[in-house]
Chains A and B, each alone.
Chain A
Amino acid sequence: MTSTVTIEPQSDSVPAASPQTSKMPLWKQEGAKPFLRIENVTKKFGEFTAVDNISLDIYKNELFCLLGGSGSGKSTLLRMLAGFESPTSGRIIIDGVDMAGIQPWKRPVNMMFQSYALFPHLSVEENVAFGLKREGLDRSEVKQRVAEMLEMVQLGHLGKRKPDQLSGGQRQRVALARSLVKRPKLLLLDEPLGALDKKLREETQFELINIQEELGVTFVVVTHDQEEAMTLASRIGVMNHGVIVQTAEPHDVYEYPNSRFVAEFIGSVNLFEGRVIEDLPDSVRIDSKDAGAVLFVNHGISCAPNQKVHVALRPEKTQISKEKPEGQQNCIKGIIEETAYMGSLSVYRVRLASGMEVRVTQPNTTRDLGARLTWNDEVYLYWDEDSSVVLTS
């Protein structure tokens, strides 16, 4: 059962940034067996439905992020995996075993809590050893495994301290070590980086990915932080009102959102409302009052004629200039209402004739102040026909 888990790094040249290996990921392979299967799971608290008929397959060695706002049901789903809540209906199957009726202390699953939940009366070593002692392992093995685990999270020298003598980042690593030392098949992480400051969070993100790769444990992470999800995840499940709205790789969630909710939740976006006036197999034209123009998108959609849709455009994919560009299908006019210089990039808010406000971000490629656009400049906004996405829901 633990044969696939090793403590030693598999190689020195493990890529740091990406959990994906060169071969095709399991979720793209036809007929791959899911490691964790969530089948039509619903959880009701009285009248309130926290999780609404969710089905989800998660594969071995994945780092899956459940992303959603508060009250989206992501934590409830995680707690059901850990066994602290039981589903009102539906099944949870981990590594082929139905978890129904299996108590938390018997599941091959460990959890890292948002508050870390370190035992304040026990030292760091005792905290990490807690789970192993419950398994009834002999003392020398417990000692060895605790030492190995603390070494891995670089806390070998702090084993005798109590949790309240540690910094936030150190506590986070103790919590991680404690949840990993039992070599769970599945590790659940509830907002693992939520309590850390921004700089520490960035460092820890990569550390977490490294550890996940080293140990080959399947991770399910719950977070409300989209940046965190984008950096960590092999796949993201975006949740809203108890349902998973979209499940996709980080890149796809950002570039090809399947709904207005996802487009707006992840990153910022400009949404132009309009009606389909020309629907070809590989392109559409949309007449938008918001934009005050006919917009052209070079991908086909399935929709009814004259259907109301939204064209989603990311601020960084929008070009801005005082001169009218040549040969652009998508070009609209507006007046700069506000600019914000943010060092590496500038943010412009442009007011269109329709009254709509469009957000544009541009990298500051020169140091020359004179060339920069400013308030009340009349500008043209334009973008390539493959930069925008049509959303039907």
Chain B
Amino acid sequence: MKRRSLFLNTTATMGFIFLYAPMIALVVYSFNKSKLVTVWGGWSLKWYGELFRNDQIIDAALLSFKIAFISASVAVVLGTMAGFVLSRFRRFRGKMLLAGWVSAPLVMPEVITGLSLLLLFVAMEGAFGWPAGRGTSTIIIAHVTFCMAYVAVIVQSRLSQLDETLEEAAMDLGAKPSSLFFLVTLPLIMPAVISGWLLSFTMSLDDLVIASFVSGPGNSTLPMVIFSKVRLGVSPEVNALATLMIAVVAIGVTAAMYQMRRQAKLLEKQG
């Protein structure tokens, strides 16, 4: 092994400080006893208690989890289908269009995605009365739209690495294409599907910009509530809430990464 150079060590340390110091500060201050956010007044769980007594925040959190769960689940189904079509159908009319559509939400600024979805919803309501107003369902539709793009990309890359003779072997042994998908293809891309779900879940939970555009009155998600609270001045409660969110997102991302690593190992074995 080569000895790590001073330069590398310094860079790594700086990077870690840069990335994690704000979060650590936030976590530490969430246990602050003082009412003033910037003044340390000793350790306490007081603000966590306050948080759980705050109905507005609890409702928003429940709504966010519900939206995240539904969006991730729908996005996984649609995204897997899109990924399958993109990798398995060699050439068809509109393939470029589909590929573009899949990658568009990945590169498009959220403000634009949000705005265009809002315009669409308003136009649709005007044209045939659905969706009536904006609320939970419009947020879900919007989140599905950008989450399924991520799922499609993950699934497509997994499928392109998958040995196609496995599918031929299944056909040869008497499996029709429909049962073949559920018996062979799906189990083999499962790690990618699961990591797609976890990624979608955390992204939906995190989203502020798009949700702000397409939500209606009384349907504020957790990030929206936090943002509006912070604008009125940071309360220590928000620190506690943010700490909890960091925990949830960290668990989600770690699980997604674990799935991807497992998938990489599976591929190695297969190869």
Interface residues of A (CB under 8 A from B): 82, 84, 103-106, 109-111, 113, 115, 117-121, 130-131, 134-135, 164, 178-179, 182
Contacts and interface: CB of A to CB of B under 8 A. Distances in A.
Contacts, number: 61
Nearest to B190: A121
B122 interface: no
Given A84-B171, A106-B174, 18 more contacts: A82-B168, A104-B171, A105-B173, A110-B172, A111-B172, A117-B165, A117-B168, A119-B166, A119-B169, A119-B184, A120-B266, A121-B188, A130-B170, A130-B173, A130-B183, A134-B173, A178-B173, A182-B173
B250 to A, nearest CB: 29
Contacts of B171: 84, 103-105
B92 to A, nearest CB: 18
> Which of B166, B179, B266 has its CB near the most chain A CB atoms (within 10 A)?
B166
Interface string B253-265: 0000000000000
Given A117-B163, A120-B188, A121-B188, A84 B168 contact: yes
Contacts of B188: 119-121
B266 A113 contact: no
B176 interface: yes
Contacts of B4: none
Main secondary structure of the interface of B (DSSP, over half): helix
> Which of B168, B174, B188 has its CB near the most chain A CB atoms (within 10 A)?
B174
Contacts of B175: 105, 130, 134
Contact of A105 (B163, B166, B174, B184): B174
Contacts of A120: 188, 266, 269-270
Main secondary structure of the interface of A (DSSP, over half): mixed
For chain B, the bracket of interface size reads 20 to 34
B187 interface: yes
A262 B188 CA distance: 44
B168 A121 contact: no
19 contacts: A104-B171, A105-B172, A105-B173, A105-B176, A106-B174, A109-B172, A117-B169, A119-B166, A120-B188, A120-B266, A121-B188, A130-B170, A130-B173, A134-B174, A134-B175, A134-B179, A164-B269, A179-B173, A182-B174
A111 B167 CA distance: 13
Interface in B149-181: 163, 165-166, 168-176, 179
A164 B269 CA distance: 6
Contacts of B176: 105
Contact of B172 (A104, A121, A135): A104
In the A-B complex, list the 10 residue pairs whose CB atoms are closest, starting with the nearest.
Answer: A131-B173, A134-B174, A117-B169, A164-B269, A117-B165, A104-B171, A121-B187, A105-B174, A111-B172, A105-B171
Nearest to A106: B174
Contacts of A179: 172-173
Contacts of A111: 168-169, 172
B270 A110 contact: no
Contacts of B174: 105-106, 131, 134-135, 182
Nearest to B169: A117
Nearest to B266: A120
Contacts of A113: 165, 168-169
A110 B173 contact: yes
A135 B175 CA distance: 9
Contacts of B184: 119
A85 to B, nearest CB: 11
B176 to A, nearest CB: 6
Contacts of B173: 105, 110, 130-131, 134, 178-179, 182
A135 B163 CA distance: 24
B139 to A, nearest CB: 36
Contacts of A115: 163, 165
Nearest to A82: B172
A104 B168 contact: yes
A39 to B, nearest CB: 23
Contacts of A110: 172-173
A385 B170 CA distance: 55
A178 B172 CA distance: 11
Interface in B20-50: none
Contacts of B187: 121
Contacts of A134: 173-175, 179
B192 to A, nearest CB: 13
Nearest to B164: A117
A1 to B, nearest CB: 15
Interface string B56-94: 000000000000000000000000000000000000000
Nearest to B171: A104
> Which of B168, B173, B179, B270 has its CB near the most chain A CB atoms (within 10 A)?
B173
B270 to A, nearest CB: 5
A145 B166 CA distance: 22
A151 to B, nearest CB: 20
A130 B174 CA distance: 9
A135 B173 CA distance: 9
Interface string B184-207: 100110000000000000000000
